[in-house]
Amino acid sequence: MRRALAEARAAAEHGDIPVGAVVLDAAGTVLGTGHNDRERTGDPTGHAEIIALRAAATTHADGWRLTGCTLVVTLEPCTMCAGAAVAARVARIVYGAPDPKAGAAGSLWDVVRDRRLNHRPEVLADYLAADCAEPLIEFFAHRRVR
């Protein structure tokens, strides 16, 4: 999670919402990292999780099938990112801060545990939640001041 937090800080440096993600293989090796970059690139899919999953797919032995891998993210995934994690067949999602407004791993929706889907990753929530929420709180407080 500390690596994902470093990614989140990188997002904030270029004006994006500070969310970071890391994909680890079963041995704990980092396969991909990412941070939000929608503002910098103008790409609506530029979420930390999507970027990290794409990077991991280029290095993982099974390509896009990230079987056995863990997605670590500082903020609970949205519906797009939760769906991407399911499609990528990640074994587990570990997230820090819950997202009651858009979270799709248990807060608002529960896409990742929907029994109608062909794959359901394990979810570990609230890991270093306060540390993960802090950059988000600071970012939005600063934006409201402007």
- Cβ-in-10-Å burial (0-12, 13-18, 19+) of 33 comes to buried
| Residue at token pair 């997230």 | 95
Catalytic residue among 7, 39, 49, 122: 49
Task: Please name the residues in contact with 130: beta carbons below 8 A apart, sequence gap of 6 or more.
Answer: none
Residue 142: how many other CB atoms lie within 10 Å? 10
**132 marked as part of a ligand binding site:** no
Task: Report how far residue 55's alpha carbon sits from residue 75's, in angstroms, rounded to the nearest whole number.
Answer: 19
**81 marked as part of a ligand binding site:** yes
Is 49 one of the catalytic residues?
yes
**47 marked as part of a ligand binding site:** yes
CB 69 within 8 A of CB 90: yes
Task: Report how far residue 21's alpha carbon sits from residue 94's, in angstroms, rounded to the nearest whole number.
Answer: 10
> Which residue positions form the known binding site?
47, 78, 81
> Which residue positions form the known binding site for Zn(2+)?
47, 78, 81
- Give catalytic residues, as residue numbers: 49
